[in-house]
Amino acid sequence: METIQINISLAIFIIILLMSLAADYENKKKERNERLPFSNNTFSDFFSMLAKLCKADGFVKKEEIRLITQYMKEELKLNQYEQQEAISIFNKAKNSNSSFEFHAKRLKRENKENTLFLNEVIELLFFVAVEDSHLSREEEVLIIEAINIFEVHDNAYFRYKEAEAEKEPENDNAPDGRYFLSLGLTKAADPSEIKRSYRKLVKQYHPDNVQHLGVEFLALAEQKMKEINEAYNYLKEKLDF
């Protein structure tokens, strides 16, 4: 489990970007006047998916809980009993054997005609994942999995990735910072850490290992592999290891 480490300039960029995405998200919600369609299974799958996402990187963060609680009260308008039921489902799902994929596929089957709702689920998953200004690789894989199961591609995650790709990280006097960042490291990383992170990233983003996640993620993975190899080769030559 490894969380992408973000330098100060990139963190500021992400915060500004998230504020913009959040404003867009709020505008979209104003366009819908109907309550989200919660059958028994949908209610259970919805909160189970949130639990699996929150636990994906090893532990549930207080920022994630705060956002989900706020969403239950202010957007879903759940009464006290419904909130308790949602919390119970969430807590059980954190450690259950059921998979994120199982809940996502069942939710899609029961709501396949309601693309507005499915898109809102993706938006919420994304905003929960980045509530602490970090997007872990484990969380990102689950978000991509949900996108491809739901077959909705106009959402905050892809807008975030497009904006991130256009942003060139600011550097001091050399490209070292960008290359360390591409490997999920800080400039303090030694050769052994660089090698370990490189091997882990290659395994995670190699096209052969992500084909099942769909063509959109495959394209992102191929671009990521180019960045990883470029960064590793540069640091290997510069640090002579």
14 confidence band (pLDDT: 50, 70, 90): low
Q: What is the pLDDT of residues 86-100, one digit of tens each?
A: 999 999 999 899 999
240 confidence band (pLDDT: 50, 70, 90): confident
Q: What is the pLDDT of residues 153-180, one digit of tens each?
A: 767 777 777 666 665 544 444 556 678 7
- 32 contact partners, CB below 8 Å, separation of at least 6: 116
Higher pLDDT, 109 or 227: 109
- Nearest residue to 126 (alpha-carbon basis) of 220, 3, 25: 25
What dihedral angle (degrees, nearest 10) is formed by the CA atoms of 163, 164, 168, 169? 140
149 confidence band (pLDDT: 50, 70, 90): confident
Q: CATH second-level architecture of 8-162?
A: Orthogonal Bundle (1.10)
224 confidence band (pLDDT: 50, 70, 90): confident
Range list for CATH 1.10.3680 in the chain = 8-162
Contact 157, 126 (CB under 8 A): yes
Q: If you average pLDDT over every residue of the chain, what do you get?
A: 78
- Nearest residue to 144 (alpha-carbon basis) of 73, 211, 76: 211
End-to-end CA distance of the chain: give it in Å, rounded. Answer: 25
CA of residue 29 relative to chain centroid, distance: 20
Instruction: Look up the pTM and report it.
Output: 0.59
Count of beta carbons in the 10 Å neighbourhood of residue 199: 11
- Nearest residue to 17 (alpha-carbon basis) of 106, 126, 103, 141: 126
Range list for CATH 1.10.287.110 in the chain = 172-239
Would you state the pLDDT for residue 1? Answer: 45
Altogether, the residues listed in the chain come to a count of 241
Would you state the pLDDT for residue 108? Answer: 93
Fold topology of 172-239: Helix Hairpins (1.10.287)
